[in-house]
Amino acid sequence: MTTISRPIGDAFVAGERLQALVAALIECKPERIENGSYKVDAELDTATGAPLARALMRVEAEMLLADAEAIRPDLAGGMRAPDQRRADAFLELAHRVHDAIRVQAQ
């Protein structure tokens, strides 16, 4: 497993230790698929995968609540599909981890 070169302290992102999320995200491998989008594949043990799964669920829950608040009678089908929300949650979590690392580096 790869580690980052400098300690990143006790920072937390989406309720999980930053170091644990970095360790999990480093193992994620993007792969371009036929339609031009990407899928992300990773084989994580429980200790590495559990913090990532919990953080992703928390970010997705935030997005689900935001989608629910956006429902209005004048908008038909304005919510994201579950697969799209999970993909958006993964990207949002990656951005939050990136931002936290930048803060720690300052």
Read out DSSP for 38-103?
EEEE----HHHHHHHHHHHHHHHHHHHHHHHHH--TT-SS-SPPHHHHHHHHHHHHHHHHHHHHHH
Average pLDDT, consecutive stretches of 10 residues, N- to C-terminus, the chain (106 residues): 54 95 96 91 95 97 89 70 92 96 86
d(CA 58, CA 52): 10
pLDDT at residue number 57: 97
C-alpha dihedral over 72, 76, 81, 84, to 10 degrees?
-80
pLDDT at residue number 68: 84
Q: In this structure, are strands 12-13 and 38-41 parallel, antiparallel, or unpaired?
A: unpaired
**pTM for the whole structure:** 0.83
